[in-house]
């Protein structure tokens, strides 16, 4: 035991040394002038760290936060600046199901400022093989409450907001408006169109994922000039072509893989690190263990939502009948 303790202490000291070096680099970086270093804690706007407002070094990051996120801070391409951007970002996850579970878990763990979760459904026993954020004790209870409780257990320093509604045109603008980035973790067609339209109207990047059977896909819509969902699919497919998990089944880990990748894309968008999947779509095939990335068409000049001459307003959005448009129901019970 003593040896293990000594090893951990040595490891911590080494990490602290690296972090002090990174902090000193940040203070002299032209993108982060010294005058910004004291702009408040990394945890500013959050619920506060578990270790209290202890400060160190240049005083801009509490010691417990430095320790918690030390593996992020050590990444040359991410570092203190990446963590600081994360700690100021607010992300909305629509759907606390198979996709939304890993998305919410990772976003909570990584230290976003505010994590919103929308879902109007309750946890059911047949959700648990894939919706890993929920525990047996929550069967019959609200998915949002279950997911939010788990996220708070993982990271008490972030703000988790519960939206106990199914997202609909009447409430979507008000909810989405509060966040920087939106993650679509649903799988029903009317909701997919609705979230897309809402994000275009409010100019929010949309991390969109889907999983069915043994396959999944994801892309980032309406970000850095990439198309919106309507640019690619101006008209909904025939109802018969729309399969869902409840109709066709899904291997639990498949939405888990796609959800993890959605969380990753959300982090990249939030921090400006790397190249988000804008204008590209990732296709995952579990059976062959293959991942392909295909280029998708650019945004359409004649898109009825994001096109140059679009006349679609927020009023139009609130009146739009997405269920009639897609000929399918807007139901969380059919979520991935
Ligand atoms: Zn469009």
Q: How far is the CA of 274 from the centre of ligand 1 (A)?
A: 24
- Is pLDDT above 70 for 126? yes
Q: Closest Cα to residue 204, out of 224, 225, 181? A: 181
pTM of the prediction?
Answer: 0.83
What pLDDT score does 2 carry? 78
Q: How far is the CA of 235 from the centre of ligand 1 (A)?
A: 12
26 vs 72, more confident:
72
Task: Give the pLDDT band (50/70/90) at residue 17.
Answer: confident
What pLDDT score does 119 carry? 97
Q: Please say whether the beta carbons of 199 and 167 come within 8 A.
A: no
Beta-carbon count within 10 A of 271 CB: 21
Q: How far is the CA of 304 from the centre of ligand 1 (A)?
A: 7
Q: Can you tell me the mean pLDDT for 27-48?
A: 36
Report d(CA 290, CA 121) in Å as an integer: 33
Q: Can you tell me the mean pLDDT for 304-322?
A: 97
Q: Please say whether the beta carbons of 138 and 124 come within 8 A.
A: no
What pLDDT score does 92 carry? 98
Class of domain 72-326: alpha beta
Q: How far is the CA of 320 from the centre of ligand 1 (A)?
A: 16
Q: Please say whether the beta carbons of 213 and 249 come within 8 A.
A: yes
pLDDT digits (tens, 9 = 90+) for 64-100: 999 999 999 999 999 999 999 999 999 999 999 999 9
Q: How far is the CA of 241 from the centre of ligand 1 (A)?
A: 22
Q: How far is the CA of 214 from the centre of ligand 1 (A)?
A: 29
What pLDDT score does 247 carry? 64
Q: How far is the CA of 323 from the centre of ligand 1 (A)?
A: 19
Q: Closest Cα to residue 120, out of 147, 150, 149? A: 147
CB contact burial 65-84 (16+ within 10 A = b; e otherwise): bbebbbebbbeeebbbbbbb
What H or E segment, with its residue span, contains residue 163? strand 159-163
Q: How far is the CA of 147 from the centre of ligand 1 (A)?
A: 32
Q: How far is the CA of 334 from the centre of ligand 1 (A)?
A: 26
Burial of 241 per CB tally in 10 Å (0-12, 13-18, 19+) = exposed
Q: How far is the CA of 305 from the centre of ligand 1 (A)?
A: 5
Q: How far is the CA of 278 from the centre of ligand 1 (A)?
A: 13
230 vs 19, more confident:
230
Indicate the range of 7-16, 92-101, 188-197 predicted with least confidence.
7-16
Report d(CA 104, CA 166) in Å as an integer: 17
Q: Please say whether the beta carbons of 119 and 183 come within 8 A.
A: no
Q: Please say whether the beta carbons of 303 and 310 come within 8 A.
A: yes
- Is pLDDT above 50 for 163? yes
Q: How far is the CA of 230 from the centre of ligand 1 (A)?
A: 5
Q: Can you tell me the mean pLDDT for 23-38?
A: 42
Q: How far is the CA of 273 from the centre of ligand 1 (A)?
A: 25
Q: How far is the CA of 277 from the centre of ligand 1 (A)?
A: 16
Q: Can you tell me the mean pLDDT for 311-336?
A: 86
Report d(CA 281, CA 105) in Å as an integer: 23
Indicate the range of 16-25, 57-66, 216-225, 288-297 predicted with least confidence.
16-25
Beta-carbon count within 10 A of 330 CB: 21
Per DSSP, 213 falls in state: B
pLDDT digits (tens, 9 = 90+) for 199-216: 999 999 999 999 999 999
Mean pLDDT of the chain: 87
Q: How far is the CA of 256 from the centre of ligand 1 (A)?
A: 28
What pLDDT score does 13 carry? 76
pLDDT digits (tens, 9 = 90+) for 254-267: 999 999 999 999 99
Q: How far is the CA of 173 from the centre of ligand 1 (A)?
A: 18
SS3 (DSSP) at 136 = helix
């Amino acid at each position: 035991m003593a040896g293990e303790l000594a090893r951990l202490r040595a490891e911590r000291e080494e990490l602290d040394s690296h972090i002090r070096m990174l902090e000193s680099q940040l203070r002299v970086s032209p993108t982060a002038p010294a005058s910004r270093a004291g702009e408040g804690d990394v945890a500013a706007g959050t619920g506060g760290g578990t270790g209290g407002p202890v400060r160190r070094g240049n005083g801009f990051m509490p010691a417990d936060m430095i320790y918690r996120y030390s593996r992020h801070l050590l990444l040359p391409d991410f570092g203190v600046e990446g963590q600081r951007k994360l700690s100021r970002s607010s992300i909305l996850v629509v759907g606390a199901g198979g996709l939304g579970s890993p998305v919410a878990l990772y976003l909570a763990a990584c230290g976003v400022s505010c994590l919103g979760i929308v879902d109007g459904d309750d946890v059911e026993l047949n959700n648990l093989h894939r919706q890993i954020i929920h525990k047996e004790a929550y069967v019959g209870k609200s998915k949002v409450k279950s997911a939010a409780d788990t996220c708070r257990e993982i990271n008490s320093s972030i703000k988790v907001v519960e939206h106990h509604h199914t997202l609909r045109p009447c409430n979507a603008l008000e909810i989405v408006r509060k966040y920087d980035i939106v993650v679509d973790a649903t799988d029903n067609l009317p909701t997919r169109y609705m979230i897309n339209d809402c994000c275009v109207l409010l100019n929010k990047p949309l991390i969109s994922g889907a999983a069915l059977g043994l396959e999944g896909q994801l892309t980032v819509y309406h970000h850095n000039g990439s198309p919106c969902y309507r640019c690619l699919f101006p008209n909904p497919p025939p109802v018969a072509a729309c399969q869902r998990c409840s109709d066709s089944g899904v291997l639990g880990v498949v939405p888990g893989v796609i959800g993890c990748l959605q969380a990753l894309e959300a982090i990249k968008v939030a921090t400006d690190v790397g190249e988000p999947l804008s204008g590209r779509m990732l296709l995952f095939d579990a059976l062959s263990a293959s991942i392909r990335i295909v280029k998708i068409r650019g945004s359409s000049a004649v898109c009825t939502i994001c096109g140059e001459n679009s006349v679609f307003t927020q009023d139009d959005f609130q009146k739009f009948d997405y269920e009639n448009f897609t000929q399918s129901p807007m139901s969380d019970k059919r979520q991935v």
